[in-house]
Amino acid sequence: MKKVYIETMGCQMNKSDTERMFGMLSNFGYEETDTPKEADLLMVNTCSIRQLSEDKAFSLIGTWGKWKKTRPELKIGFCGCVAQQKAEEIFKRARYVDFVLGTHKIYSLPDIIKKINNGEKVCECEETNATEDDKAVKYEIDRVKSVNAWIPITEGCNNFCTYCIVPYTRGRERSRLPETILKEVKDALNSGFKEITLLGQNVDSYGKDFNDKNYRLADLLRDVNAIDGKFRIRFVTSYPTDITDELIKTTFELDKVCEYFHIPMQSGSSEVLKKMNRRYDRETYFRIANKVREMVPDVTITSDFIAGFPGETEEQFVETLTAMEELGLDYSNTAAYSPREKTVAAKWIDKFIDEDTKFERLARLNEQNRKCCLASNQKFLGREMEVLIESFENHKGSNVITGRTRNNKIVHIPYDKDLTGEFVNVKITGVKTWYLKGEMI
């Protein structure tokens, strides 16, 4: 049997694509290996959100290219967001690459494999306005063994935030058909997964592009919730102004849908938000986040922020720090601004913030994030909570099981038996910045 190794970079969307690619390749007699040197086919599924990640991908295939000198039969594939963006250019930069596969047509992989095995070089990076649902149903998905299955429900994005490469790499927003999604959910549950995360760049705009039906995220949540069995449902990522009252109400009402919203704010300054082409200002974000908190008890709200966006002043940056604090955000992903080719903000070179200032702001953002996380965790001290166990390990001589609460808090519990995949009730007995400590009830 031939072996394939895939290095996956970036977000859950890429991880989900990799699972689909493994599923297709298993139909073609490939088995997965964790050891690149053993592989007959090496693939990198790239991310273009930051330059660092792109550089890492080229460095990796550079190493693989050297192996090819002594193993000419070795095949190398360059996939994902950087592939979608650069297409044929990849061959110029790395002649040893056998195929380039963008994000729009991952279901071309079986055809590509046939062609490269006949000695052809293939570039499949054409943009499409359709989902590949018709092809998706033909293949099994080789999911990473875990309790949580990530299921994409939309692809692409129409928002064109001025810093973001996603609309150029993932194309316009397309909603996958409810029946395809529901089949994937049922398959995942039948394989033993206990948590379903519905995934999209703007998950809450799901269904906006359906011309023949009025079916939105709240409807999909109701249909997934109606499937028999004990499991949890999450959805990420929410665009602030696409969160409807109906969605918040549905989250509260449906028993399997978890009390968790990931709502990127990106900046606490209305002027910066405008330059980012985000369709809300500081006040609007506050109004939406506060409404979510009022309507969904115990909800956690997490966010994303960028430090040092072009032209950001110290005062505007401080507005981000105060927003994090005043909103009582439970956790935030933070990053220093990284210019991405093709995006609007990347052209504002004269407004770029120097690296020292950018990283000094990032450090302050991280410090504020730490304070917010600790304050958020302290709210749960002494509470009894349901935890879905995700792992079992021996830590410094003691056995510990680790899982998440419905509102996505990580809990470590001393326990001698592996309960991975089980729901347990726990009393929260300790609080750290990034996690809670619990005891079995």
Binding site for ligand SF4 (CB under 6 A): 157, 159-161, 164, 166-167, 201-202, 239
d(C-alpha 378, C-alpha 98), whole Å:
53
DSSP string, 201-226: TTGGGTTTT-SS----HHHHHHHHHT
CB of 370 to ligand SF4, least distance (A): 24
CB of 308 to ligand SF4, least distance (A): 16
CB of 346 to ligand SF4, least distance (A): 13
Show the tokens assigned to 412. Answer: 């470590």
Q: Please, which residue, 41 or 151, has the CB nearer to ligand SF4?
A: 151
Q: Please, which residue, 239 or 380, has the CB nearer to ligand SF4?
A: 239
Q: Please, which residue, 77 or 264, has the CB nearer to ligand SF4?
A: 264
Please name the residues in contact with 384: beta carbons below 8 A apart, sequence gap of 6 or more: 425, 426, 427, 428, 441
CB of 146 to ligand SF4, least distance (A): 24
Q: Provide the 8-state DSSP code for 185.
A: H
Q: Please, which residue, 108 or 302, has the CB nearer to ligand SF4?
A: 302
Amino acid at residue number 114 = K
3-class state of residue 123 by DSSP: strand
Please name the residues in contact with 31: beta carbons below 8 A apart, sequence gap of 6 or more: 1, 2, 3, 4
CB of 81 to ligand SF4, least distance (A): 11
Q: Please, which residue, 335 or 410, has the CB nearer to ligand SF4?
A: 335
CB of 165 to ligand SF4, least distance (A): 7
Please name the residues in contact with 433: beta carbons below 8 A apart, sequence gap of 6 or more: 370, 373, 374, 377
Q: Please, which residue, 140 or 209, has the CB nearer to ligand SF4?
A: 209
Longest distance between any two alpha carbons in the chain, whole Å: 64
Amino acid at residue number 38 = E
Cβ proximity of 342 and 165 under 8 Å: yes
Q: Please, which residue, 188 or 362, has the CB nearer to ligand SF4?
A: 362
Would you say the C-alpha torsion 144, 147, 153, 157 has a positive or negative sign?
negative
Q: Please, which residue, 161 or 353, has the CB nearer to ligand SF4?
A: 161
CB of 343 to ligand SF4, least distance (A): 9
Q: Please, which residue, 47 or 161, has the CB nearer to ligand SF4?
A: 161
Q: Please, which residue, 202 or 267, has the CB nearer to ligand SF4?
A: 202
DSSP string, 301-345: EEEEEEES-TT--HHHHHHHHHHHHHHT-SEEEEEE----TTSSG
CB of 13 to ligand SF4, least distance (A): 10
What DSSP element (H or E) covers 383? none
CB of 198 to ligand SF4, least distance (A): 16
Cβ proximity of 150 and 16 under 8 Å: yes
User: Which burial class, exposed, middle or buried, applies to 262 when counting CB atoms under 10 A from its CB (0-12, 13-18, 19+)?
Assistant: buried
CB of 118 to ligand SF4, least distance (A): 37
